[in-house]
């Protein structure tokens, strides 16, 4: 397990043993330019999405401000008359801004219409369209004008990789399923790798295994089990594996014992 995978696992387990911790992800809320993005995201997660995740029987892992393009597609079309013929690249899809949330079972992609308008990842105004046309592009991608939460189970993902978007001059996570291609852009440049690693962990089953530890031939689920001794043994296994430090083990053990 890489150091980044260990950090994601430790954070997810910390949220599980100390639920109030998961409400603290409102970093940079005082930022003048993007503060509304962070606060809107935090409020939606705390008061709506977390409930949905729990109703689905999922374990929460982490969330980040993000932007999305769904249904990515393009095709070449020729236009003009006999004297002047030109080939244009038509681009298709829908886009918005909001946040990406990972659970142990699925990706939750949350589009918030207000944020999509205020922080549009693609600009299709008249001037932008004119310059794109000069460059040979006909941009048919459209802003999603409603709030929407899309759930993507890990087992439906065929591939997920960090790649470069040459149109937007940004790195992105490109996900391919049997039905479509999805692009995810991190708001914070230093969290893209963490997001991509979390998705890979979900696809490989590593996120699900955070909450499952073999104990006497059975699996213990932190969300439903009330067997504190079993949970303590699971924490000890994480400590022995080097995922938790001695101090972290002691702290989490005290929190579990306080439930007795």
Looking at residue 147, its pLDDT comes to: 97
Point out the least confidently predicted range of 138-152, 165-179, 192-206, 230-244.
230-244
**Cα 3 from chain centre:** 19
* Segment 110-123 mean pLDDT: 93
- Which is more confident, 195 or 28? 195
HSE-up of residue 48 (Cα within 13 Å, Cβ side): 12
Choose the most confident range, by mean pLDDT, from 27-31, 117-121, 187-191.
117-121
Q: Which DSSP state fits 58?
A: P
Reported CATH class of domain 60-204: mainly beta
Contact status, residue 64 vs residue 112, Cβ threshold 8 Å: no
Q: Which DSSP state fits 190?
A: G
Three-state DSSP class for residue 189 = helix
Q: Which residues make beta-bridge pairs with 108?
A: 101, 151
Looking at residue 126, its pLDDT comes to: 65
- Considering only CA atoms, which of 121, 99, 117, 116 is closest in space to residue 108? 99
**Which residue intervals of the chain bear CATH 2.30.29.30?**
60-204
* Integer Cα distance of 237 and 175 in angstroms: 33
Looking at residue 197, its pLDDT comes to: 97
Q: Which residues make beta-bridge pairs with 88?
A: 77
Per-residue exposure over 127-163, b if at least 16 CB sit within 10 Å of its own CB, e if not: eeeeebeeeebbbebebbeebbeebbebeebeebeee
Contact status, residue 41 vs residue 48, Cβ threshold 8 Å: no
Structure tokens given for 136: 């040979």
CB neighbour class for 236 (10 Å; exposed up to 12, middle 13-18, buried from 19):
middle
Q: Looking at the predicted structure, is the pLDDT value of residue 30 above 90?
A: no
Q: What is the pLDDT of residues 184-231, one digit of tens each?
A: 999 987 899 999 999 999 999 999 988 775 444 444 444 444 467 767
Which secondary-structure segment (H or E) carries 152? strand 148-153
Looking at residue 219, its pLDDT comes to: 46
Percent of the chain residues topping a pLDDT of 70: 82
Q: Which position has the token pair 């992800």?
A: 25
Looking at residue 258, its pLDDT comes to: 73
Q: Which DSSP state fits 59?
A: P
Contact status, residue 100 vs residue 109, Cβ threshold 8 Å: yes
Structure tokens given for 103: 């659970």
* Segment 77-98 mean pLDDT: 82
Q: How many residues does the chain have?
A: 260
Q: What is the pTM of this model?
A: 0.77
Q: What is the pLDDT of residues 35-61, one digit of tens each?
A: 889 889 999 998 999 999 989 999 999
Three-state DSSP class for residue 2 = coil
Q: Looking at the predicted structure, is the pLDDT value of residue 1 above 70?
A: no
């Amino acid at each position: 397990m890489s150091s980044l995978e260990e950090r994601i696992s430790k954070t997810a387990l910390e949220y599980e043993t100390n639920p109030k911790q998961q409400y603290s992800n409102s970093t940079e809320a005082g930022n003048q330019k993007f503060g509304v993005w962070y606060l809107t995201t935090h409020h939606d997660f705390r008061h709506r999405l977390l409930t949905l995740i729990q109703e689905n029987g999922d374990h929460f892992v982490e969330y980040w401000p993000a932007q999305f393009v769904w249904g990515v597609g393009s095709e070449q079309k020729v236009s003009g008359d006999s004297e002047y013929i030109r080939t244009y690249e038509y681009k298709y899809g829908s886009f918005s801004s909001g946040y990406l949330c990972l659970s142990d079972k699925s990706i939750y992609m949350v589009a918030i219409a207000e944020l999509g308008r205020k922080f549009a990842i693609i600009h299709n105004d008249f001037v932008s369209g004119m310059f794109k046309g000069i460059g040979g592009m006909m941009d048919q991608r459209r802003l999603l004008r409603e709030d929407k939460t899309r759930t993507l189970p890990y087992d439906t993902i065929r591939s997920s990789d960090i790649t470069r978007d040459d149109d937007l001059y940004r790195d992105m996570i490109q996900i391919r399923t049997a039905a479509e291609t999805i692009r995810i852009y991190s708001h914070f440049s230093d969290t893209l790798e963490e997001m991509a690693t979390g998705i890979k962990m979900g696809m490989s089953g590593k996120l699900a295994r955070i909450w499952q530890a073999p104990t006497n031939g059975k699996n213990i689920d932190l969300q439903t089990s009330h067997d504190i001794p079993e949970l303590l043994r699971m924490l000890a296994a994480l400590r022995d594996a080097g995922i938790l430090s001695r101090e972290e083990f002691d702290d989490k053990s005290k929190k579990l014992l306080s439930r007795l």
